[in-house]
Structure 1
Amino acid sequence: MVRCKTDCIQKPLSRVFRWLGKLVGRYPWVFLLIPFALSAGLGAGFYFLPQRKTNDIEDQFTPIGGPAKTERDFVRKHFGSNDSGQFSAQRLYTEGSFVSLIAISTCDNVLNMNTFKELIKLDEMVQNITVTEPGANTALTYQQLCAEVGEQGCMTVNPLLSKVKRNESLIETISYPMLQDSVFIGPYLGGVIRNSDNTTVQKAKAIKLVYYLREDGESDKNKSLKWINQCIKFFSNNSLQLNQIQVSYFTSLSRQQEFDLTTKSIIPLFSITYFVTIFFSILSCKRYDCVRNKFWVAAFGVISSGLAVLSSFGLLLLCGMPFVVTVANAPFLILGVGVDDMFIMISCWQQTRVKDKVEDRMAATYAEAAVSITITTLTDVLAFYIGILTSFQSVQSFCIYTGTAILFCFLYNITCFGAFLALNGRREESNRHWFICTKVAEVKDDDCSSSYNVCCVGGEYNQDTGKETDHPITSFFRNQYGPFLTNVWTKCFVVLLYGGYLAGSIFGCFQVQEGIDLRNLALDNSYVRSFYDNDDLYFSEYGPRVMVVVTEEVSYWDLGVQSKLDRCLVSFLTNSYVSESYSESWLDVYRMIANQMKLNISDKSNFIGNLSLLLSGLDYMQDVDIQSGGIMASRFFIQTVNVTSAVDERDMLNQVRDIAKSCEIPVLVYHPAFIYFDQYAVIIENTIQNVAIAAGAMLVVSILLIPNLLCALSVTFTITSIIVGVTGFLTYWNVNLDSISMITLVICIGFSVDFSAHITYAYVSSQKANVNERVIDALHSLGYPIVQGAVSTILGVVALSAAECYIFRTFFKIMFLVIAFGMLHGLVFLPVLLTFFCCCDRNEDDTAKINPHLDKFPNVKLHDKCKQEISVNSWEMNANEDKISTCHHNNCFYPEPDYPLSQDIEPSLKDSMSGQDFDKNLQSCLCIYLCIK
């Protein structure tokens, strides 16, 4: 049989960890105290936490170097704003400073005088809100702080409200979306039902009031911010006592302020999670044997994970890494990872021989467990560090913090936790009670009560294997579950089940929605969510008013250039997301006025000379950047419509940008909302890139550390299967593909390999004769630790399901899917797959080579461990032909002075080995191999 082994790294690594385990077992206090001292030093970095917090939504949740940011820089450079005389909301290159109110009629129609009287009352209440500057006695109202429009004064908060104040009869004949004097009121009147003429309003459900404030200078900006904060306090602390309308409110500060509160909401959940995880770890490691009980070991495993978080976060804070709200998810995750590795190490410890020295048991534990957790640590760390390649700062920060924490978690598990495991082993070696540490009897006394025997007698072990007695669930995996899973009919059912899982997952992948909804950055009970809901419900007919900016100096007076500009604008207006009726063009207005006045503007001198004269006092002059006698840039406006969903936002953005690229004149399109819409352009690309690179890295790690090529490939296949499943099932749980879910998909890449790698490595390491037995052996060794790790990880994040914030609930949902599907693959799908494709049965010729020689010694019996690890090809021969001698195996070589001779080799064999110091040779090896040359 051809064997595809790739163990050139695995075997040396196993020997290195065996040496390390022996060293930890010999000097446990050194390896215990150094991590504590290191954690204390690095923990000082938390002093800088307040300085490192950076929760700016734009920085964290929009693509780094997104096109809209470049477009905004161009608009800012060529088209400044003037809030003190020429304010125009549609011409802002930012959202501006504002307070926005949505008043919803409690009856069917907001357009009646009783409602308008309450609207006027509401407007007066807002305008009378005051703030006082430090050291000044004058109270500042909206009138002193408002953005101004020429002689009109303050920018109109709602054009319809202003006109109805002057003429109440207008309320009966409102035209929509253009008022009779050509004022566009689409953004101000919502839930509109038109009359049969399709131009006048029959009724409307909501009306919007927007209060813009000055922010030209630093002084104006600070005053405006104070007034906005005062408005927030006013609406949050006062009952408006309005009968005709219900009011929701939002400000330019609200989104960021509410987002900042999300971090504080998660702190209580963190302490709950640690308590629950410690309790579960102790409970799952509990033994009725008062000596073998792993109470303190389980508790310390959780503490070790906490030290990893303290050290890694402290180190990165010392190095100046920004701390964003998404990083608050990391400690929950690290807790699950650390506890998972702890369970693996405890399981491997229990597979060692009880009567061996502690340092020998530690060597055997590390040789088996450390390689397994090295595989998962490498894949996890690689997955997170690869996530740094993404275009979102929030994802980058999370990946850096979490990847570093997992690395520390691994280091502390093989040093700090290993040292504590060794100290606990010394207690067990002395047969001391787990709680009071006094020596207890090893044999139960039938004359004593059962409670006495449970509490005061311990240290029993399996006399046949020399190992600790199996946990009941471990026995279940070997005796019931393993044989059931390897049954032919069970395998057929598993294949059908996997087909259903894959079909549902693939279908879900094609239904996933893209993009983050900004309302989800606020807490569930935030006033921001109410405003967004009402805005979507009543004001979604008209979308952003988009700037079309000519980016180069062109000859606007040339008729050919004008034709190109006209064709460009027409191409925009024919798009399904753009209204044909509500565009604005300074050039059209200029040409119209010039024609009316019969002015010649066909040459540069006349065109530019008359421009300032004819458009003076109009907002259109803000759309032309005249420098050094030339027009360096100009802009036009188009009105988008029916942008009601994330898909519409994505499609609209892509289409208008494609149209801009096709224009004969170089133009760009811009609106402040495009800063957030940019995520649609990169979210899919970034996700696929991260998944592909990380999956490739996982494949390389698996091939290098799992000594069988087909089995390593099966791990990679499992990763892909879990990622597809998690992505698909996001749809069924109403989670969009955004920067938040991208984080957890990066997690998915790393964590999807954990359980499958453990099972696959145990399968490859098993010495059983055929594939079914090897699967049963792997499930026996690691089935229970996988269940423990899965449950502990879910418990580590389950508290997040109660969070009042979308970010943390989404993290829980995807982590739950990752762990649930990971466990399903590790304990059901993958074991069956291994029996089909990784047929690495032991070569029957190995035993056949030995048996003829053993026949010469009828009384010889091989120890069980020797039978499991026997491999003729790897023996080192140290005897003459037909002679039996001791030899050392590369997986079994360290001193064992107390090894009982009588258990393995009968006296007849000892007598046959004349001329050798048999006892001395026997004490130099863990077990005796019968080597035939």
Structure 2
Amino acid sequence: FQHYTSADNCRSAFKAPLEPSTALGGFSGNNYSEASAFIITYPVNNVVEKEGNETERAVAWEKAFIDLAKNELLPMAQSQSLTLSFSSESSIEEELKRESTADAITIVISYLVMFAYISLTLGDTPRLSTFYVSSKVLLGLTGVVLVMLSVLGSVGFFSAIGVKSTLIIMEVIPFLVLAVGVDNMCILVHAVKRQPLELPIEGRVSNALVEVGPSITLASLSEVLAFAVGSFIPMPACRVFSMFAALAVLLDFLLQVTAFVALIVFDFLRAEDRRVDCFPCLKISSPNTDSDKGTRVRRPGLLARYMKEVHAPILGIWVVKIVVIAIFAAITVASIALATRVEPGLEQQIVLPRDSYLQGYFKNVSEYLRIGPPLYFVVKNYNYSSESNQTNQLCSISQCDSNSLLNEIARESLRPESSHIAKPAASWLDDFLVWVSPEAFGCCRKFTNATYCPPDDQPPCCSSGSGSCGLGGLCKDCTTILEFWQCFRHADLNNDRPSTMQFKEKLPWFLSALPSADCAKGGHGAYTGSVELQGYENGVIQASSFRTYHTPLNKQRDFVDSLRAAREFSSRVSKSLKMEIFPYSVFYMFFEQYLDIWRTALINLAIAIGAVSLVCFVITWSLWSSGIIMLVLAMIVIDLLGVMAILDIQLNAVSVVNLVMSVGIAVEFCVHITHAFTVSIGDREQRVKEALGTMGASVFSGITLTKLVGVIVLCFSRTEVFVVYYFQMYLALVLLGFLHGLVFLPVVLSIFGPPSRCKLVEKQEDRPSVSLRP
């Protein structure tokens, strides 16, 4: 291991020295003999252009490799008590496709549980004798059908204009729209039930729409606007999800205030005619008649009585008010501090199915690898002409600038904890300048016909089978004639640098020269893809790269920090050298989204909350109410960020979507209570009591519990991403919305609530009535 740079058996297939850390793992320091793992890498050619079938061939090769590794190599390794883990560039994409079906049953069960709860909560208090008439299974089913139609309408519209759907869209949006749609269904049906029974069903539905229609419209438009704001997020997954969700929620709202209202009328007519739910053709006769219908009044439910007679009076106690405000304010302040601990990223292990073969691969990479991904510093438009000083601005050998690119990279590698650069860069330019140097005997030689002559230990100078190496054979002239021993003498070079013509002529020789014991500086293999030769004859190399390695990157934060450090370093060196230099590593394209994800998330959340408040102001025409709603929404989002920090939930495309979505969903917990408060009569305490009595029960049973029963099922998901980003975040959102909507908001309204709109209307109506009297 100490002589790995020269030992023949430690060289790669193209005879170049092999870096031990790229092939061995599990050792400490430079103790390579302690290695407990080894790595094999098969590079597969990829192309930028889509023409031809090169990409398809690479993907087909990877697919065949994975099949071979699963079916043959893995059993072979296990039979020898070895651990084998493997991956290809397309593995994550393929495993995500498999994941799309892994939780299909869980999601369907969640939908069924929500549907069952809808059917129960829409109906009256269950009684065995009347359950088959008073239940609302058919009404709930039609409501679910309307939700599915709205989702299909959204998917169909965007598919028609060429916007492709994603995994999140197909699995999450139906759940989201169902959760939002169920709220409106419950509120509408409960409002109809609160109307006097002496009114015809059409009158009851009309009064119900007058009572809850504005708050439903306000909540739905706020949700649509919150999602529409998300369509401006630069991350494609967030943008596409927000577009689909905004249209789906809008279509669902339009269907609910039209088709579902008509279905409510039909269902109540069915129940009053004592026809069986789901089988309306069957009519049940009853000895009791409805002759006293005009005198009957529907008694409020147990939950409504609790809200009005227990919950509201407790919140009305001044000591309780002070404690509630203090606790919620403290939680918000603590959440602001905790939010700074939320890290950007998305662990691959969370996204993948738990039984994926990549789970073991990522675990072993984190545990055994002692070096990170390759890092390339790409230099554009390098001028190698004699008149330019850019060669000395890049190289790191003698007579190069002290602040050259390669010297700066070497300095950065001395502080790997902040730069995330493991070692100095492998430089084709340094090796080329050494290769053409007169001191490098046996490297740059030529035949008598001025063509390249390889070292004596390589064909055709040396045949590996015959052992005829040395002064004889085809390369005799290169070895014995002084003029051809070397390409240049010191007098031929200018300060040991080749001229423009010499550089242009000898660079292709260098890139095709195989390294060997006689000349280890050959560039073939190590630098074959490092220089773009197209158009280099003009004295400018359009693009070239210098390869180094990142330090081991085990956490998502390491990937993000390494990308940020590489970009900051490139920007600084580019300004210093006045050259265009940028870094590249294979993971940069994916992790680039996390550089500004905090800024993106905060801007979109601020816009969403502001837009929702603007909608509230336009519909209610009350800046007072809009300000209170905006305050509560901001507190819910901040507290949700605090929960993310406690649960170690990272900030990524999925969680940003959830945060933007939380603004729309949190509106449900605030708007209905606030609207009921503004249209009630009396002082603030009385209006809070009335608002909780009328809408509190609907918010709890129709919004909180509906979402809760659907979310709890997701904890049984086979995929960690559903457990973390949908079960945990949705559960936290529902609980925070419930606490803020039914505890904190009533207290705030009882102290700082806006005046009743009924009083304002009465005053406006009284003035003209007085002036019109004769």
> TM-score scaled to structure 1, two decimals?
0.67
SS of corresponding position for 1:352: coil
Indicate the SS of the match to 1:625. coil
Moved over 6 A (4+): 458-462, 876-881
Match of 2:302 among 472, 481, 499: 472
In structure 2, the partner of 1:629 is 538
Corresponding residue of 2:478: none
1:292/1:428 contact within 8 Å kept: yes
1:46-66 Cα shifts (integer Å, max 9, x gaps):
xxxxxxxxxxxxxxxxxxxxx
The 5 Å alignment of 1:246-257 reads 246-257=83-94
Q: Which runs of 5+ in 2 are unaligned?
A: 396-402, 441-489, 514-522
Aligned partner of 1:644 among 544, 554, 558: 554
Match of 1:657 among 542, 567, 570: 567
| 1:193 maps onto 2:193 in alignment | no
Taking the aligned partners of 1:678 and 1:745, their CA distance within structure 2 comes to 20
**Aligned-pair identity (%):** 22
User: Per the alignment, in what secondary structure is the counterpart of residue 747 of structure 1?
Assistant: helix
Deviations 1:288-331 (A, max 9, x none): 47476545434433333233223333333344331111102111
* Secondary structure, aligned partner of 1:252: coil
Structure 2 contact 427–547 (Cα < 8 Å) conserved: yes
C-alpha contact 2:120 2:136 (8 A) present in aligned 1? no
For residues 552-599 of structure 1, the C-alpha deviation after alignment (integer angstroms, 9 at most, x for no partner) is 242454573234325233333323335574411112112222332535
1:28-80 deviation digits (Å, cap 9, x = unpaired)? xxxxxxxxxxxxxxxxxxxxxxxxxxxxxxxxxxxxxxxxxxxxxxxxxxxxx
Residues 561 and 594 of structure 1: is their aligned pair in 2 closer, same or farther, counting only changes over 3 Å? same
The aligned residue for residue 487 of structure 2 is none
Q: Say if 1:648 and 1:261 are closer, same or farther in 2 by CA, change over 3 A.
A: same
Give CA-to-partner distance per residue, 1:119-155, whole Å, 9 cap, x none.
Answer: xxxxxxxxxxxxxxxxxxxxxxxxxxxxxxxxxxxxx
Q: How far is the alpha carbon of 1:622 from its aligned partner?
A: 3.4
Cα deviation for residue 461 of structure 1 reads 7.8
Are the structure 2 counterparts of residues 295 and 462 from structure 1 closer, same or farther at C-alpha, using a change threshold of 3 Å? farther
1:880 Cα deviation (Å)?
11
Count how many residue pairs are aligned between Structure 1 and Structure 2.
Answer: 668
- Between the aligned partners of 1:462 and 1:651, the Cα distance in structure 2 is 73
Is 1:606 the counterpart of 2:502? The answer is: yes
1:799-841 C-alpha deviation (Å, 9 max, x unpaired): 3332222443312322222221111110011111112222526
Q: Which moved more, 1:575-584 or 1:393-402?
A: 575-584
What does residue 586 of structure 1 align with? 428
Do the aligned partners of 2:179 and 2:707 also contact (CA within 8 Å) in 1?
A: yes
Residue 772 and residue 292 in structure 1: after superposition, are their counterparts in 2 closer, same or farther (change >3 A)?
A: farther
Aligned to 2:106: 269
Equivalent position SS for 1:389: coil
Cα distance in 1, alignment partners of residues 420 and 134 from structure 2:
74
Are 1:255 and 1:521, in contact at CA under 8 Å, matched by a contact in 2?
Answer: no
The Cα offsets for residues 214-273 of structure 1, whole Å up to 9 and x where unpaired, read as 567956665554443333334434532433411112123311110111221233233322
Structure 1 residues 69-80: aligned runs within 5 Å: none
CA, structure 1 residues 163+611, in 2 after alignment: closer, same or farther (shift >3 Å)? closer
**Match of 2:684?**
771
Cα 1:880/1:507, change in 2 over 3 Å: closer
Letter in 2 for 1:229: K
Alignment of 1:146-295 (within 5 A): 182-194=17-29, 199-213=30-44, 222=56, 225-237=59-71, 239-240=75-76, 241-288=78-125, 290=130, 294-295=136-137
Tell me the CA shift for residue 439 of structure 1.
Answer: 5.6
Give 1:709 shift: 2.0
Q: Which moved more, 1:571-580 or 1:718-727?
A: 571-580
Q: 2:390 aligns with which of 546, 552, 561?
A: 561
- Indicate if the aligned counterparts of 1:351 and 1:467 stay in contact, CA closer than 8 A: no
Distance 1:675 1:744 in 2: 23
CA change 1:320–1:213 in 2 (3 A) is closer
Using the alignment, how far apart are the partners of 1:418 and 1:744 within structure 2?
A: 30
Residues 501 and 725, structure 1, Cα contact 8 Å, conserved in 2? yes
Give the partner amino acid of 1:624: V
Q: Distance in 1 between matches of 2:553 and 2:385?
A: 32
* 2:588 pairs with 1:674: yes
Runs of 5+ unmatched residues, structure 1: 1-110, 112-158, 175-179, 444-457, 847-868, 882-931
Verify the 8 A CA contact 2:678 2:757 in the aligned structure 1.
no
C-alpha distance in 1 between matches for 2:56 and 2:137:
58
Q: Map 1:271-350 onto structure 2 (within 5 A).
A: 271-288=108-125, 290=130, 294-327=136-169, 328-350=171-193
CA RMSD in angstroms comes to: 3.2
Q: Which residue of 2 aligns with 1:403?
A: 246
Counterpart of 2:321 in structure 1 is 491
Moved more, 562-571 or 587-596: 562-571
Cα pair distance change 1:442/1:580, threshold 3 Å: closer
CA shift for structure 1 position 426: 2.8
Q: Is the 8 A contact 2:224 2:250 kept in 1?
A: yes
Q: Which amino acid aligns with 2:366?
A: D
Conserved 8 A contact 2:308-2:693? yes
Alignment match of 1:426 (pick from 257, 260, 269): 269
Report the counterpart of residue 708 of structure 1 in structure 2.
622
Equivalent position to 1:482, from 312, 316, 334? 312
- 1:486 is displaced (CA, Å) by 1.3
Please say if residues 378 and 543 of structure 2, whose CA atoms lie closer than 8 Å, have aligned partners that are also in contact. yes
Aligned 8 A contact 1:228 1:251 in 2 = yes
Amino acid aligned to 2:62: I
Q: Per the alignment, in what secondary structure is the counterpart of residue 756 of structure 1?
A: helix
CA 1:208–1:462: 2 relative to 1, 3 Å: farther
Distance 1:580 1:321 in 2: 42
- 1:103 — aligned with what? none
Q: Deviations over 1:660-715 (max 9, x none)?
A: 12221221111221111212223222212211211110110111123432221010
Tell me the residue number matched to 2:644: 730
Q: Say if 1:623 and 1:556 are closer, same or farther in 2 by CA, change over 3 A.
A: farther
**Is the CA contact (8 Å cut-off) linking 2:222 and 2:615 kept in structure 1?**
yes
Corresponding residue number in structure 1 for 2:519: none
> TM-score, length-normalised on structure 2?
0.80
Secondary structure of the corresponding residue to residue 536 of structure 1: helix
